Structure formats: C-alpha cells, structure tokens
Amino acid sequence: MMLPQGVYRLLHCLYVAITLLCFSVQADPRLGQKLMLDIRYFCQDGISIECREPVTELPLELREWLQKYQIGGVILFAENIHTSQQLIKLTQDLQLSMSDIEAPPLFIAVDQEGGRVARLPQHVLPAFSGSMALGATYASSQDNFARAVAEVQAQKLLSHGINVNFAPVLDVNSNPENPVINVRAFGSDPEMVAVLGSSMVKTYQDNGILSAIKHFPGHGDTQVDSHTGLPQVTHSLSQIMQQDIAPFAHVIKNAQPAFVMTAHIQFPNLDDTKLSTLDGASIIVPATFSRKILHDVLREQLGFDGIIISDALDMAGIADHFASDEALLNTFAAGSDIALMPFAIRTPDDIVAFDSWFRAARQALSERMQETSWQASLSRIATQKISMLRNKHSAITQQIPEKGIDTLVDNLAMASVTALPGSQAVTLKPGDSLFAVMPDDLRCAGLRKALYDQGIVNLECISTLLDASLPVMRDLDKYHYIILGELSPAISAVEMGGMDDVVALRQRTAQRASATDVLQYMTSLLTNQELANRTILVGLRAPYVVRQLTAQTQPLATFLLYDYRVDETTFTSPSLKSLSQILTQGLIPTGTLPVD
C-alpha cells in the first residue's frame, strides 16, 4: 500500500531522530560530529597552502573522508557556489554521503549576513544592503525590513540545501576604528541591535534555517581584526553586560537561536586567566577558550541551551598563538560544542595527515573531558539536527517571487540612505557636468551607470587607487558638481572569504593610495568653500570618517549608503541607483544614522 508523501517524510524524520538520539548516548562519542570544516579548495596534488582549485562538485576523496570520520558539518564559501543547479547538486551529494552510511545529516553552513559578507552570488540570492542599512531604517520602519530580508534569505538558502546561516551579527559597533565589524553591525544602540537580531533569528528559524548569532560576547569595540590579530576589550563588567552582551541575552531569551558563535577576543573583566602560547608567552585567555565566558556566563547566566560553535580556529587571533590540536582541546574544554575549521583539507596528503591529528585529538579529549560533558554536547548537536529535519518539512514554503525580491532590494537601499544634518536638496539636470572621485574603477563604473540610467551622461570619474590620479583643485572649476565617494575602513579578510585571502588582501591594500592621503585630498576640497558648495560627499561604507569630515566643513550635501557593492558584470548597484535617484529627483532620504 502506498503511503502519502507526508507520512513517508514523518517516518524518515522519526527514523533519523531515533538514530541521532541513540548516537548521542553512545559510550564512545564521535569526535567527527563536533567538527565543522570547509571544503573551499581541493587539489589532487601539490602543496596544500597553494591550492586554489574550488570545490564545486564533491570529489570522491572528500566524500570518503566525510564518511570515514562522520564529520558533523561543512561551511561553504563563495568559491563553492556558481549556479543554483550546481549548488543544489553539491549540497545533495554532501547529504547523500552521510545518508548512504546511515550517519546523521550534515550541518551545511554559510556566512550570508548580507551586504559585503555574502557568499551566494547575486543571481542566486541578492546580498541586500547589509545590517547597518537595516539599522538605518529602524526609526521609520522598525523591524519590517529585517524580517523581509531574513525571509528571502532563509527561503533561498533552504531551497539550495543550506541549513545553517552564520547570522545575524549582534555586535554593538561602538568603535569608529573597528576594522572588521563596522557596517556588519546594525548599529551602536544595544536595544536596536537586540530587536532587529531577534526578528531575523525568528524569521530564519520559522523558515527552516538554523541561526547562529555572533560574535559572543561582542566584537563591536575593537581596533584589531581577529582574522589578523588578537583584540582585547577592556570594558567594565557593567558595560559588558549592558552594551556587549545585552543583545545576546535578549535574543537568547526571546528567539532561542540554534547556535552562538564565539569571539577570539580577550575580555579581562570577564576572565583574566592566563594561557601559555606557542612561543612561551603568557596571554589572557580569548573568549573562545574561556570556560568562565562560555559556560558560566553564556550557559549558566544567560541560559543558552543550544550549540556553542567557535569562530574559525584558523584565524590569526588563535592560530598565531596555539597549535591546531591545542586550539581544539581548549575550545572544547571551555564549553564549545563544535570547532569551526580547526584543520584545513586541501589535498589527499592533508587527508592522510588528518587521520593522525584526529586520532590524537580524540585520545586527548577522552582524557581531558568528562563523559557527562561529551554526552551533553552530543545531545545538543543531535537535538538541533532533529530540529533541522523537522523545520525543513514544516518551514513556510510559499516562495517570494523574484520580482518581489528585486523590489525589496531596491526599497531597502532607498530607505536606508541617510542625509547628514546641513545637507541641501540636490536636483541634477541632464546637461550638468560632474566630476567624481571614487575608491576604484568598479565604483566609477557603478556610479556612471546609475547616473546614466537617470539621464546624466556628463561624468568624469577617477579612482583613488593611485596618488598620481588625484587632480589639483584648479582643474575642477569647469564642473557643475563634484561627487566624493569615501570608503572606509579598508576591506577585511572576512569580506573576501577568510584566512586564505590574507596575502591577496595585503597586496590589494598596498596598491591603493593611503587612507591618510585620500582623507587629506578630500579635506583640501571641502575646505575650499567655493568647491564645497558644489560637492556631494558620499559615505559608501562606515559613516565615521564622513562624519568627521562634515564636522570640519560643510559640503552641499552628505549622504550615507552603508553599501559599496557593484556587480562586476552589469555594473549595477542598488545603493548607487538609490543615490542617483535622490540626486536627479530631489528626493529627501529617510534613513537615520544608526551609530553615535
């Protein structure tokens, strides 16, 4: 007798649930379930560190490796994703590698925060304008845009076989010098961050995606990127609880996120315990290794009963100070359930090396961790995997039409544009001639297309890639308007992908004019009042430097976009499109500055 499809799904979920629960109470826990690794690159030969061959199809070697060690999860990067069909095939093959051996399903995760940190290509899932843009709409729209964006993201991720999103960012960005969070945060108000974060977590999980809030206990007030160093936050205990941890506490209580991701940051007023590093130095324990922070505060004080996952253990904040096996032991001893990217698999030789690393780690963990801790951790993982299967079949399935998604992209970009005080209304005319200084040629192309679509064709644009390209002021008299595009801070490793990109990132930074030179040039223009009266200052990313400039001078108008992305093929940009409409139609921006 044929059973309805829904009954088959229910029976399958029940079978897997029983399998997982039995697994979670085994006497010999499986380390593989506590690991999440990347499969960004894989080469059949060569040197691991030099391998840059993207994994878009699952190689036999990786399939067998996943099965042998019953790895619990993988994280995908942009290199793994080219088209919808290709991504669906990849995630299906990943899950089949587990189901074929009747092992628990994989967590398949991605960093799809939106804005500049988005791994899926635009034609698969638009990145929207990012978290700070959402923060800029809060005063006028509350959490409406946050819920709408999360719903689209969840539906698209789930339909492509992804079940975990490392988002939203709950860091309260209170430091203008923060090189890595800035526009990835909703803003500087802990209450706003908490409300928008709760809305996104609920929406993700109502639509079948497990949400991971990050970076606990807070990465918002740092001047060091934990990809390249080890930051320290010296806030008092009361400030930590009221500012840094407050959004996490609210979201844990009101939205029950599946995951919390740790931060590689020292918080001496939460835990000043010292650890010895590879070179014999003694340093304050980072939160990722702190039992006082992960267990006493996160588990006991905040009552979080989901999965604690470390941030990537290959980041310099950890890897520069600790060997990979020691990092693994430290984060598990502190209370993490899953270690993210503790070991890189790039070649068949890496798989061979992984075997001895894995065996040694399992032996060391069995000696250091109590059986009850193992069981509790594996039970949390099993619980979320059962929830993942249940949510997949009960999630809202009514897909948002592509036209509706495009409209949402444009509406968010327009609603988030913020005019700083003193800005005057601008209405460009078709015959006006414009001169623009933008961060690079791609931004010039994006601005040129956006203005051209609004009937403005007389634009000369230069980039600040080279100091020699900056013109002298007397050459600007012939233009009706000057547009200055300010982009700060510099791009970070997480925006490019991660630690595999650090070398390329340094080379890219070295090719640009220094931030000091660009700032001096813009200041020289704006302190010339005749030029300032014709200058439109545009903050393409974080608002802090632009705010600094307008504190000293008064341009004709100053607009904040929070999003500098331009499609490299079509040169389209939702944020520059919104700017061009504002400039040609005399519109009044409705966004509100979301940071102090």
pLDDT > 90? residue 506: no
pLDDT at residue 150, as a whole number: 97
pLDDT at residue 235, as a whole number: 96
- Band (2; pLDDT cuts 50, 70, 90): very low
| Averaged pLDDT, 254-270 | 98
Q: To the nearest whole number, what is the mean pLDDT of the chain? A: 90
pLDDT at residue 266, as a whole number: 97
pLDDT at residue 515, as a whole number: 77
Superfamily of domain 33-394: Glycoside hydrolase, family 3, N-terminal domain (3.20.20.300)
Fold type of domain 417-585: Rossmann fold (3.40.50)
pLDDT at residue 16, as a whole number: 47
> Contact 190/242 with Cβ under 8 angstroms?
yes
- Band (498; pLDDT cuts 50, 70, 90): low
Rounded Cα distance, 212 and 304, in Å: 12
> Contact 487/564 with Cβ under 8 angstroms?
yes
Instruction: State the pairing for strand pair 112-114/117-118.
Output: antiparallel
pLDDT > 50? residue 12: no
Cα dist. 265→64, 225, 233, 321 in Å? Answer: 36, 10, 7, 13
pLDDT > 50? residue 79: yes
Question: So where are the chain's domains?
Answer: 33-394, 417-585
pLDDT at residue 501, as a whole number: 62
pLDDT at residue 399, as a whole number: 77
> Contact 245/304 with Cβ under 8 angstroms?
no
pLDDT > 80? residue 22: no
Residue 475 CB burial class (10 angstroms; 0-12, 13-18, ≥19): exposed
Instruction: State the pairing for strand pair 164-165/274-276.
Output: unpaired
Say how far residue 491 (Cα) sits from the centre of its chain. Answer: 13
pLDDT-above-70 percentage for the chain: 89
> Contact 74/39 with Cβ under 8 angstroms?
yes
- Band (335; pLDDT cuts 50, 70, 90): very high
pLDDT-above-90 percentage for the chain: 75
Close Cβ partners of 31 (under 8 Å, ≥ 6 residues apart): 69, 358, 361, 362, 365
pLDDT > 50? residue 26: no
First to last CA, the chain: 66
Q: Which residues of 402-440 are buried (b: 16+ CB within 10 A; e: fewer)?
A: eeebeebbbbbbbbbbbbbeebeebebeeebebbbbbbb
- Band (464; pLDDT cuts 50, 70, 90): confident
Rounded Cα distance, 220 and 186, in Å: 11
* 423-441 pLDDT per residue, tens: 999 999 999 999 999 998 9
- Say whether 311 is catalytic: yes
The residues with which 237 forms a beta bridge, in sequence order, are: none
* 167-207 pLDDT per residue, tens: 999 999 999 998 889 999 999 999 999 999 999 999 999 99
Say how far residue 244 (Cα) sits from the centre of its chain. Answer: 18
Q: The pTM is what?
A: 0.93
Mind giving me the DSSP string for 35-93? EEEE-SB--SSS-GGG---B-SS--HHHHHHHHHHT--EEEE-GGG-S-HHHHHHHHHH
Out of 311, 337, 500, 501, the active site residue is 311
pLDDT at residue 552, as a whole number: 81
| Averaged pLDDT, 282-290 | 97
pLDDT at residue 267, as a whole number: 97
> Before 168, cis peptide (omega within 30)?
yes
Q: Indicate the residue type of 581.
A: Q
| Averaged pLDDT, 501-507 | 61
pLDDT at residue 23, as a whole number: 44
pLDDT at residue 508, as a whole number: 62
> Which is nearest to 435 in space by CA: 463, 467, 414?
463
- Band (28; pLDDT cuts 50, 70, 90): very low
Q: What is the DSSP letter of 431?
A: T
Q: Is 259 helix (H, G, I), strand (E, B) or coil?
A: strand
* 94-137 pLDDT per residue, tens: 999 999 999 999 999 999 999 989 999 999 999 999 999 999 99
pLDDT at residue 374, as a whole number: 87
For the ranges 3-12, 227-236, 453-462, 579-588, which has the lowest average pLDDT? 3-12
pLDDT top residue among 403 and 583: 583
Cα dist. 460→92, 464, 476, 480, 487 in Å? Answer: 49, 14, 11, 12, 19
Taking every pair of C-alpha atoms in the chain, what is the biggest distance, in angstroms? 86
pLDDT at residue 432, as a whole number: 96
The residues with which 418 forms a beta bridge, in sequence order, are: 560
Q: Is 169 helix (H, G, I), strand (E, B) or coil?
A: strand
* 386-420 pLDDT per residue, tens: 988 877 766 665 678 888 999 999 999 999 999 99
* 508-534 pLDDT per residue, tens: 665 667 778 888 888 888 988 899 999
The torsion of the CA quartet 267, 271, 277, 282, rounded to 10 degrees, works out to 100
Say how far residue 432 (Cα) sits from the centre of its chain. Answer: 39
- Band (471; pLDDT cuts 50, 70, 90): low
Q: What is the residue whose two structure tokens read 């961050």?
A: 193
pLDDT > 60? residue 296: yes
- Band (216; pLDDT cuts 50, 70, 90): very high
Token reading at 33: 């379930």
Instruction: State the pairing for strand pair 418-419/458-463.
Output: unpaired
Residue 508 CB burial class (10 angstroms; 0-12, 13-18, ≥19): middle
Cα dist. 420→141, 438, 487 in Å? Answer: 19, 20, 16
pLDDT top residue among 552 and 29: 552
Side-chain-facing half-sphere of 375: CA atoms under 13 Å: 8
Phi, psi of 109 (to 5 degrees): -115, 165
> Contact 452/430 with Cβ under 8 angstroms?
no
- Band (24; pLDDT cuts 50, 70, 90): very low
> Contact 533/479 with Cβ under 8 angstroms?
no
Q: Is 527 helix (H, G, I), strand (E, B) or coil?
A: coil
pLDDT at residue 337, as a whole number: 97
Q: What is the residue whose two structure tokens read 């007389």?
A: 458
